Structure 1
Amino acid sequence: MNKEELRAKALAYHKDGKPGKITVNASKPCETAEDLALAYTPGVAQPCLEIREKPETVWEYTSRGNLVAVVSDGTAVLGLGNIGPEAGLPVMEGKAVLFKRFADIDSVPICLGRVFNEKGRSDAAKIIETVERLEPTFGGINLEDIGAPACFEIEQTLKKRMNIPVFHDDQHGTAIISLAAIINALKVTGKKIEECRFVVNGAGAAGISCSRFYITAGAKRENFILCDSKGVIRKGRTDLTPEKAEFAVETEARTLADAIKGADIFLGFSAPNCVTAEMVKTMAPGPVIFAMANPVPEIFPDVALAAGAAVVGTGRSDFPNQINNVLGFPGIFRGALDVRAKDINEAMKLAASQALAELAAEPVPAGVKKVLAEAYPADAAAGMFDSKGGVNVNCVIPKPFDPRVVPRVARRVAEAAMKSGVAQLDIGDLDAYEKSVAERLGK
């Protein structure tokens, strides 16, 4: 559909019937006088008294254990930028829809106002103070669309102060998904992550956090060059934030075209059409390109492949290898909530990446193939889901509607939480747990 058709349909989707995309439904009946007496006064006093005497029973008598706050100040919304909390609310509602649809997690969108500095940007102290006060109500906090550099301080401070998982999806979601794709892309190219040269275009929350995460997974810091709107992040520049300065290098390269020469992996979190075929031809043999600017990528897959790229991914659903955060956060929070984790740590994030990487390499069962064929008819017609195992250039990451994704990610995340000591509940049989999550979501 063209832009005007998309605009009309999207506005109607959000406006028709009940405005917005979410509602609240009761999980218990409230149809009789007895129901009312149990749901509210006088019966509600009983769980209140139990929780006062035994605070840990809040998880038994309330919805807190399956409830996530989706928190934003609207300063870095999608590719729209600093549009404010009201304009960001449709995105947070959408996030709540995805939590419910993919992981059966209830969530509440919370868009914060009056948390800005004199320049209209995120005031970290105000957001931290506001969010930490939410802890008694929620089982987890999903930070969303909060601008850099404040987002780094906000997440790290809240993780230290709160005893529930705090996760900034713009930083870590893309990092987790793209690392899974890199793991499998390197199987295709026969390269090792510790030997690869990375060029990252875009040094905001996603670019910085992805680079840090790849280093955790084995990449070498000295093999990274990051670029922002002013060119290569290099020593000697006086306009760098502390996060950018962390990746400043001694180099003669000044532009993205300079930096990309000889690189094995390009990752884009930046602007449309900023990478050319000629630039791809200067990269190392068999390069991997993940061009994740939306809706128009840094380079289109057909152009990159024709120029010599071995594996290409984008953020779009109409091309192979979609790097989509919905592959991550639903399963990550499902696993974290189910073991009542106090944090989402590096071990849990790496486990999520490994789960996605291993799943993409597994044969596709007949039942799953049927689901995928309904969700992606063109891909099914092209034989994409006929794999008997192993990865290929068009499938280094699972599809978002693959019903195996959330159960597998939840399993690996829960397991990592238990092993790393942040879980408060123990799951004895992980095979049974993965199956139970699949059954829960199947209903």
Structure 2
Amino acid sequence: MSKLQGFEFWRQTLKEARFVVAPMVDQSELAWRLLSRRHGAQLCYTPMFHAQVFVRDSNYRRENLYNEVCEEDRPLITQFCANDPEVFVQAALLAQDYCDAIDLNLGCPQMIAKRGHYGVFLQDEWELLEKMVRLANEKLSVPITCKIRVFKDIEKTVHYAQMLEKAGCQLLTVHGRTKDQKGAMTGIASWEHIKAVRKAVGIPVFANGNIQHLSDVERCIQETGVQGVMSAEGNLHNPALFEGRSPPVWEMAEEYLEVVKQHPPCTLSFVRAHLFKLWHHTLQIHQDLREDLAKVKTLEGLADVSKQLRLRCQEEIARGKGVEEKGSGLPLPHWICQPYVRPASASEVKKTVCQKRALEDSDRTADTLSKNKQKKRSRNPNKNFCPEQKPKYIKCDQCGNPKGNKCVFNLCRGCCKKKAYKEVADCPIKSNLPKSTLQKKVPTR
């Protein structure tokens, strides 16, 4: 039986999913996906997995995917980051029996993605992306999907989407922000770009960006014509977003902790991060409990801090205190699940950041350095913070990491060691001298 494609895949396998939980590193684990599904989510993605690590490390596969198989957790799409077609397909083949589709991450804008050369930093390498998607479409028994960010130019974004569709992509998620719109510079996502892509392709499209309430979901579908809407930050602050509810924070926190107990093991750092997101507004007020939440080392400890936050909120409710008394400017009391809105506009933040960096670059006195750099300067008075004057490292011929300064093979420490022992050859780096060692052991006649 041939695999379903395009709209047939969306209708039959994904059951016409409209409400989608985004792939989030260390945040869209099984327990959170199940909680989100209980409250209206119709489709979930796994966190982003690194294809190369997934191929070589059986523990990584088991802990992140194989151990999280659950009948309630379907339909499910597994996402990978990759920059090598063969490695990507190998990873996808190992994952395809545990999900309903494989997604290629072409949207991650973080610095780790830049260093690893994946995510949105591949968006200009169309020939490579075409090969990756085409090969996956040919080899996999499940559909291949892609999640992208937009270019500033709408026409270029449309051509980009059409290229991926032609290569074999069966569903496209479009995050309406550019590569540079991240962190303090996030700004507003462009639904115009998403609308243009939806009109130009013949496959289902999901929209991502500007989703804080259920009303945003409905408005996005109406304005762009997409088949579904994906939420990341909105879902983290309110997992009942797709139900159109804003429940008390403790309701969601306690239910999440129960799901975690029912589906062990769950990494403690994931749980802690979720509680920080859920209790974000309350922790701005009860900062002593913020410190406790950061320090506790057990699931029971996290649950206890969450319980203390609930009791404090209920005391405020009993006294008739509201958000207005705290002067926070929130539309709802802080104990109600609601989105986090960044305090400054992207343009204002950008102006401030640029001025600070210009000052640091032009004047190297200690007063202009950040606290972190001042600490480094105190430990090493001769430390140089000028990027232009930093030494340029030569890359390893095999893996791309910085090569060893003394390596005769032009390799990094790890690759040098493998080569030296495989070929019984000597290299001075870290005393990789298998040939000399062997000669000492074999007596001469």
Bigger share in helix: 2
> Which category describes the TM-score, using the shorter chain as reference length?
under 0.3
Q: TM-score, normalised by structure 2?
A: 0.27
Q: TM-score, normalised by structure 1?
A: 0.27
Q: Which has the larger radius of gyration?
A: 2
Highest RCO, 1 vs 2 (Cα 8 Å, sep ≥ 6): 1
